[in-house]
Amino acid sequence: MSDRFWDEPDDDPKDKTEGVRIIGAEEAAEAIERGDVAQRRAEGELRYGDRPAPPPEDAQAAVRFPLPADQADALVRPRPVTPPLPHWTDPPTGEVPRVLGDSAESDDDLDAWSGFAGSAPRWRDQVGDWQEADFDPAALTHDDESRVGALDERRPDDLFLFADAEPVALPEVPKRRRATPAAPPRARRPVPSRLADGQRDLQMATATGLGLIVITLVLFKIGPAAAMVLVTAVLLAAAAELFGSLQQSGYQPATLLGLVATGGLALGSYWKGETAMPLVLALAVIVTLLWYLTGVTRQNPTMNAGVTLLGIGQIGVLGSFAALILTLPDGIGILLGVIVAVVANDIGALVVGQQMGRAPVAPNVSPNKTLEGLVGGGVFSIVLSVLLLSMLLSLTPWDTGSAFALGVVVAIAAPLGDLCESMVKRDLGIKDMGSFLPGHGGVLDRFDALLFCLPATYYLCRLLNIA
CA 268 to chain centroid, in Å, comes to: 50
Indicate whether 276 and 317 sit together in one domain. Answer: yes
How much is the pLDDT for 141? 57
pLDDT confidence tier of residue 89, bands split at 50, 70 and 90: confident
Residue 159, pLDDT > 60, answer no
- pTM listed for this prediction: 0.57
Q: Which is higher by pLDDT, 30 or 120? A: 30
Residue 182, pLDDT > 60, answer no
How much is the pLDDT for 189? 39
Lowest-pLDDT range of 61-65, 295-299, 340-344, 360-364: 61-65
Domain boundary residue, one of 277, 293, 327: 327
Cis before 66? omega within 30 = yes
pLDDT single digits (tens) 395-409: 888 999 999 999 999
Indicate whether 416 and 450 sit together in one domain. Answer: yes
How much is the pLDDT for 245? 92
Tell me if residue 200 falls in helix, strand or coil. strand
How much is the pLDDT for 197? 41
Residue 303, pLDDT > 90, answer yes
Indicate whether 402 and 276 sit together in one domain. Answer: no
How much is the pLDDT for 439? 63
Q: Dihedral angle at the C-alpha atoms of 203, 206, 209, 213, nearest 10 degrees?
A: -130
Segment (H or E) for 360? strand 360-362
Mean pLDDT of 57-69: 66
The reply to whether 183 falls in a domain is: no
The reply to whether 96 falls in a domain is: no
The reply to whether 172 falls in a domain is: no
Mean pLDDT of 435-460: 86
Lowest-pLDDT range of 45-54, 137-146, 428-437: 137-146
Indicate whether 323 and 333 sit together in one domain. Answer: no
The reply to whether 76 falls in a domain is: no
The reply to whether 378 falls in a domain is: yes
Mean pLDDT of 94-113: 60
Domain boundary residue, one of 293, 310, 327: 327
Segment (H or E) for 454? helix 443-464
Indicate whether 402 and 336 sit together in one domain. Answer: yes
pLDDT single digits (tens) 321-355: 999 999 998 899 999 999 999 999 999 998 998 88
The reply to whether 158 falls in a domain is: no
How much is the pLDDT for 261? 96
Indicate whether 260 and 322 sit together in one domain. Answer: yes
Q: Which of 13-27, 114-128, 173-187, 238-252 has the highest mean pLDDT?
A: 238-252
Q: How far apart (Å, rounded) are the C-alpha atoms in residues 462 and 457?
A: 9
- Residue from 188, 321, 345 nearest 265 by CA: 321
Q: How far apart (Å, rounded) are the C-alpha atoms in residues 297 and 158?
A: 90
The reply to whether 269 falls in a domain is: yes
How much is the pLDDT for 375? 93
How much is the pLDDT for 202? 66
Structurally, how many domains does the chain consist of?
2
Domain enclosing residue 273, as ranges: 223-327
How much is the pLDDT for 366? 86
CA 380 to chain centroid, in Å, comes to: 43
How much is the pLDDT for 196? 39
Indicate whether 449 and 391 sit together in one domain. Answer: yes
Indicate whether 346 and 318 sit together in one domain. Answer: no
Domain boundary residue, one of 301, 327, 353: 327
Q: Pairing between strand 360-362 and 366-370? A: antiparallel
Indicate whether 461 and 349 sit together in one domain. Answer: yes
Indicate whether 354 and 458 sit together in one domain. Answer: yes
pLDDT single digits (tens) 34-45: 877 766 677 767
Query: Quick check: 319 and 231 in contact, CB under 8 A?
Result: yes
The reply to whether 260 falls in a domain is: yes
Indicate whether 336 and 422 sit together in one domain. Answer: yes
Indicate whether 314 and 418 sit together in one domain. Answer: no
pLDDT single digits (tens) 254-269: 999 999 999 999 999 9
CB < 8 Å & 24+ apart, contacts of 197-204: 198/368, 199/354, 200/350, 200/439, 200/440, 201/438, 201/439, 202/439, 203/439, 204/438, 204/439
Mean pLDDT of all residues in the chain?
A: 78
Residue 51, pLDDT > 50, answer yes
